[in-house]
Structure 1
Amino acid sequence: MEETTTVQSQIDLLQAALDHVNQGFSVFDKDLRLVAWNRGLWEMLDFPQALAKRGTHLEEFLRVNAERGEYGPGDTSGKIQRRLDRARLFESHYFERVRPNGQIISVSGTPLPQGGFVTTYTDVTKDRKLQEKLERTVEERTRALRQSEDWLRLVTDNIPALIAYMAPGPIFRFANRRYAEWFGHSIASVANRPAAEVVGETLFREIAPHIEHAFRGNAVSYEYVRKRPDGETVSMRSTLIPDMTKDGRTLGVFVLSLDATEQKRSEATLMQSQRMDAVGKLTGGLAHDFNNLLTILMGNLLSLSRQEGPLQPEALKARVSPMMQATQRGADLTQRLLAFSRGRPVDPQVVPLATVLENVSALLQGSLPPPVQLVVDDCPPNVAARIDPTQMETALINLAFNARDAMPEGGELHISSEEVEIDERRAADLDVTPGKFACINVSDTGAGMDEDTKLRIFEPFFTTKTFGTGSGLGLSMVYGFMRQSGGAIEVLSTVGNGSRIRLFLPALPISDATTFNNANGSNELPLGDGELLLIVEDNADIAEVLAEQVRDLGYTALLAEGAEDARSLAAELPELRAVLSDIVMPGQMNGLALAREIRSSRADLGIALMTGYADWGNLETPEKEIDFPVLTKPLRPEKLAIVLKQIMSI
């Protein structure tokens, strides 16, 4: 009896526990009769209390549900029978049923080993409504995102710029319509393709270092030139912005490219304007220099003309030597001024900075007012940079004249150079790549600049000069030139203590071979052995002087009366060894056309050209495509000797 009481107590305890579970619970035996249940079943499904007893058949529960529409309209008996047949299979099952009141019940049944099954009932109405709400939210947000992407695509496709996004690889993940069409693709064909395939192998090799630098977390700007399908050459300016996480990882790179063709043309026009403005400022100093040179020439010529009787060699040399130096100095000044003022775009080249500073010093000598003292330190001879030398000289001239204007009462203008090593921290400040740099310093002892002026001096059209005396474009052009050359510019100045402008250019080594020297290091000139040379020059006086120079170098000179005569002589004289022709001549044929015609019929003839012009007249052929040596008038004996020796050996 006591044992029975203990078992009953345990059963009651288990029932109480089951009644506190927030799920419905039922157990049916192999005959589909109710064995156990909990209170949650009746509370959840609203079954009549009369069914809450052991032995109630499953059919009675199913009938209650069917009659109150739990299974939907239709044949009630058939619905009940189908569910009984399925239950007698005693298989695991799970389904969710929506009751007429909107309640959603999940039913999960598990078969028992001896027949029958255990079933749990869970009210999932709240969960399903939450899920439904979440799905609607996801759908709405997806729709909004798609609409946002469509708007973004609409905006980026209509912005007059090339926009793209690159993932590591580099692989394009996005490109707007203009970017895709620029490289001959569709938007769809650009996505997920390697950058080299999209932009082409040739251009990719050029811009790959910039892309790598951007993926290392640096903002990069660069320019490149490309030909359109119609043959027009256009300039593009691109900026790469890294897409970085807070912990410093680079996820990708944003690309923004703009057509800079018109801007480059405008910059060229502005550069020419600045150059011509500098030429105007140089004119006074150059006139002073030329007057001094003419004084030397005229004085010595007058002395020679008054001389009665023969002159001793020493006395003749004393008169002729300064005249030769004066003419050479005049030729140098003329060539520098012509090169400085011509304004033609010049391909960047490796240039010794010592040569640039020497040229600038020569141009500035006599161009500064007496109270301003110019000091130009010697530049290390083995330091060079890849630059446009004419633009470099323009930049330094502009800085020099700015320094002059800052010292109206006089002072010192000091130009110096040095080679410096820039580490990563300093490079980040200057926005350059770490490494060796050539630094040119332009310092003055003028009034100096306040902080506001220093911040604005590179803005186009900003100037501290009185109206009409400055364009405000000089320093902006200097800044643009330095950035295009891969360098940087730094301003150090305080009010009352002068200014120092520092120009940083990536340094390159240069061999001694780039400096002109005779082969044996002596002053002896290579001479000819009587070879016949045809001279084509339309000015008779110049032709006679050239013939005399050629004879002094050991050659036999023959003068042509014009292009037609030169053509005939070249065809008729087998003993002729070479031709020296002026480029710009009157008539239909210029010297270059004549040289090419002669070369086509006499490949054995050496040919050299000469000119006194900076741009060689109106020749359509670019200078770099002329395949003949070109001498500049007046001809220097050492250069003439070397060129003649070269063409005679053809």
Structure 2
Amino acid sequence: MTSGDLYRDRLDLLQAALDHINQGFSVFDAQLQLVAWNRQLFEMLEFPMHLAHRGAPLSAFLEVNAARGEYGDGDIAEMIARRVERARLFEPHSFERVRPDGQVVLVTGAPLPTGGFVTTYTDITREREHQANLERTVAERTRQLRQSEDWLRLVTDSVPALIAYVGPGPVYRFANRRYAKWFDQTVESLVGRPVADIIGPELYPELEPHIARAFTGQAVSYEYARNRATGRIAHMRSTLIPDRTADGRTLGCFVLSLDVTEQKRSETALAQAQRMEAVGQLSGGLAHDFNNLLTIIIGNVLSLRRKADIPAMPDLSGHIDPILQAAQRGADLTRRLLAFAKGTAADSKPVRLAALLANMEGLLSGSLPRGITFSLETGDADPPVRVDPSEFENALVNLVLNARDAMPSGGTILVRLEEDEISPAKTASLGIAPGRYARILVCDTGAGMSEDVRRQAFDPFFSTKPFGTGSGLGLPTVYGFARRSGGCVSIESRSGHGTEIRVLLPVTADAAVADGADETQGTRHGNGELVLLVEDDAAVADVVRDQLCVLGYSVLVTGEADDALELVAEVGDIRAVLSDVVMPGQMSGLVLAEKIRAARPGLPIALMSGYRDGTDGGAPLPDCPILSKPFAAGLLARTMSEILSR
């Protein structure tokens, strides 16, 4: 075999290999004449086979394409000439050509070292269709995702909670409108920013350890407080839930926060009520025992005064009267302590606040230093309320003097009377019933209170004044008065911005004014009638017996309830029974009264007690008068006159 034959065999072998490639292949020399090709070129691009020979010019291939409209509309000769000139540059080229039937062919060419170029033709129609389908799928999924995000935002914006998602950084990736508003942002201004920038340098150091724990994969719950733009402190309870992958990696954390400001206020109010209840129980026990002592003191002082009226005796009124007045003030104090313990007004009656405030204006303004300006505004408001006038006056004095102490360098105190309708929506946080209320505002321009001080202001014995100068009972007394009267009291204050205290008292439909009639009016003294006195405290029994004897009654005394029952059954001359409520043993004065009524129906009975309403909150009251210790002789006379006249 000659070398020529061997060369042709190798070319035929190479041609056979090229014909099996699924890409078109062509080689044009420096004169732009075909020197090599494969069958796929003619099949893919549908060239006529008469061009499949060495020396076929490039222009002939271009003419076929132009005639088929693959280059668009235009002059065919110009389109061919333009492409031939571009080919003579022998530059690398790669482009996609979409044929009229929709076939997409990728044409890639490279120049040869000796001139000319080699070109491959790849049918990428399916790839482009797949890519288009993929792009349509991505677009549809994107649209669906965007729609899902819109629905998610619609839902989260409607939920009464703060919701966010924090990614690594930590950086906000999502937030609902409530969350953004909480930090004085919009959703657009918050998403994508670092958490530290949004929360701020004061709060972020407090929250950063909780966020760091959440990114370690732990669920975290915590509470924090934040000053709002309004100046009020709001409380938030947050829970961070890690967003973890199946292999344990933490991608971020979900944030759920709830505003618990009102809950905190309710908890504070409940704790305040519990503390006041404990103090009230202590006060009640002390006042009960102290009333027995005052009964002895007042009774003996009155007896001493009667003896001092004897002509042969020296005039001791200068010593006796102060003792009696002090004892009566003590009795009034214990009356208020008992009212505090029971949660009821001591001596409530309908009063007009405008007149009461006007009467106090001179007293209040006269107790203030020159540097403080006092003003009272009542306007047309004059709502009737049911309160103990003395307690109201004491509460107002406490508030004004507290305001004075908050302004050592001078300032302004304003007391304003208003009337307002409290809606059901507001009553939940105030702890009162809806309806019409009188509002008494006491405003000062003093130093104000910090949030910690404001929260503790109503705590018994809490005081910011130096030791020995403040009892810590002023504001708790005001609180107790407002609650006993069916109202409430609240404080609005900020450090450096003064204080406003609001007292709400329910308006009463009964605007009648107490007549103030003399309690001894229409009474009669005794005429020797036998009265059974049941009192276990011998000293108290002696005082009450003397008072009854002075009123003209004969007295039989016992300290035992069982003895009293036997005496009532055996001594028919007993015309009335006066018994203490709290008795030793299991039989109280209340039970004794019921047993006496069963044994001798119609026998007059009166009770006396160191508790204001006659009980310590236990058994119900019987249908008989109850004297609150200590009592004056006039009240005892009227009570005995009433029961014996029935």
| TM-score (normalised: structure 1) | 0.46
Higher gyration radius (CA) = 2
| TM-score (normalised: structure 2) | 0.46
